[in-house]
Chains A and B, each alone.
Chain A
Amino acid sequence: MKDKKFLYIPKIEKGIVIDHIPAGFGAKILEIIQSDDLMKDIIVTLGLNYKSTKLGRKDMIKLKVDDLTPPMVQHISLICPGVTIKKISDYAVEKKVTVRSPREVRDRLECRNPNCITNYEHHMETCFRMENESNQTYRCIYCERVFQLDELRPLIR
């Protein structure tokens, strides 16, 4: 069965596989990866809507690249906690990590409190710390307000 599935998306000799992406999020993750200039020209395979016992349907991405940068992994963990990132070497899994929601998110999200100093002081870094993992709530370390992760918009300078 396993081999049959891989007929749809070729095995890679060396690179990175991002698996267990909830269906519909594959394109979003690819967008994050390709927003990095160094990733613009790499070879990518994007698979959508595979059957998954855990998720029902899932997406998958294979990249011909040595590694993902830590900020990239952090960004993916914000959008899709639970995805697995596998490092492939000689067609075998060399390393596998399951991405968890980050404990701390630095300079990626904008605080929704209009009276927070981060929205006034020029070029000030923002920082949110996880308040509750199961509720996906984060606290701004400056104004101390707590937000749902999906309420927080990306920081645009």
Chain B
Amino acid sequence: MKRDLISMDDLSAGDIREYLELAEQVERIPHADKGSRLLGRILMVMFFEPSTRTRLSFESAMCRLGGSVIGFSESMITSVAKGESVVDTIHTVENYADIIVIRHPKEGTARLASEISYLPVINAGDGTNQHPSQTLLDLYTIKKFFGKINGLRIAFVGDLKYSRTVHSLIQALLKFPRQNFLLVSPETLRLPEYLMRDDEDAATFSETTGIEEALSTCDLIYMTRIQKERFPDLVEYEKVKDSYCIDTGMLEHAPDSLRILHPLPRVNEISYSVDRTTYAGYFQQVRNGLFMRQAILLKLLGESI
């Protein structure tokens, strides 16, 4: 039976651990020694929405394992512009590749693709819904920094209402016991209630609008961009767009062990001066994305490292 990666909801704690272990093994082996693991395999990249990191890191992951990449990153140059349905597009492209990675602005498109295609399908983002490869690489980064993914105090800062990476990461972390979350957001961008599972064994949630507590009491700060494109009313966006910005001055009294992650792209949430400090974890996060995406490709194609 073929395997897909569509939603973190489909993965158990055991499945997540398997992905983390595989990424660790992938990272341990130098690029040159794993350059033929997916020789002769083709990755179909279908990006109906813009992306830098996700698309390029999937492409790089495939190439570094010896596979090839074909596809598009602009739907207007395909027959979709002529009104071709997602179903017909999938049935066409599945003849040309061994695995599909898809990003689409409509929620549920990756699930639909996985149902109709005989190829493994990876969801690289469906609207505001899921982006599981980002969540897995976030978990992998946390594991690498702290040696574990639970028992930590984690602050989520910024747009907690619309950020799919935050929603997805919280849902994934809740599969493991003893989580301690500090939610930092403007009143209008609070985390939706349904994500705050009221279960003391699993997690404790506290909410605030100021970032100071996060800087002094947390192990990890997960920053997010206030996403202009998700606001129906731009006046509301202007009110909150510069709510949080971390600079080196604010980090003066932060514990040395604090790490800051960000799914990127950033606008001005983290000052460039922070990049040179040991607190900055976001570029290592990008690098970890490559290993995790190699692990995903190997696992879904049924190959071992």
Contact = CB atoms under 8 A, between A and B. Distances in A.
Contacts of B86: 117, 121
Contacts of B107: 113, 115-117, 142-145
A74 interface: no
Contacts of A144: 7, 9, 107-108, 129-130
A142 B85 contact: no
Contact of B106 (A120, A122, A141, A146): A120
In this complex, the interface size class of chain A, counting residues with CB under 8 Å from chain B, is 10 to 19
Contact of A115 (B9, B111, B128, B194): B128
B106 A115 contact: yes
A7 interface: no
A120 B80 CA distance: 13
Main secondary structure of the interface of A (DSSP, over half): loop
Interface in B166-210: 194
A146 B192 CA distance: 12
B112 interface: yes
A122 B84 CA distance: 10
Contacts of A146: 194
Interface string A43-75: 000000000000000000000000000000000
Contacts of B106: 115-117, 120
B10 to A, nearest CB: 10
A29 interface: no
B165 interface: no
A120 B112 CA distance: 12
A1 B256 CA distance: 80
A101 interface: no
In this complex, the interface size class of chain B, counting residues with CB under 8 Å from chain A, is 10 to 19
Contact of B85 (A113, A122, A140): A122
A116 B105 CA distance: 9
Nearest to A131: B194
Interface string B26-46: 000000000000000000000
Contacts of A116: 106-108
B112 A142 contact: yes
A118 B108 contact: yes
Contacts of B85: 121-122
Given A115-B128, A143-B127, A121 B87 contact: yes
B194 A141 contact: no
Contacts of A121: 85-87, 112
B194 A142 contact: no
Contacts of B130: 144
Contacts of B104: 117
B285 interface: no
B108 A117 contact: yes
A63 B129 CA distance: 46
B135 interface: no
A51 B202 CA distance: 47
Contacts of B57: none
B110 to A, nearest CB: 9
A129 B194 CA distance: 17
The 8 closest A-B pairs by CB, nearest first: A142-B108, A143-B107, A117-B108, A117-B106, A143-B108, A117-B109, A142-B111, A115-B127
Interface of A: 113, 115-118, 120-122, 124, 140-146
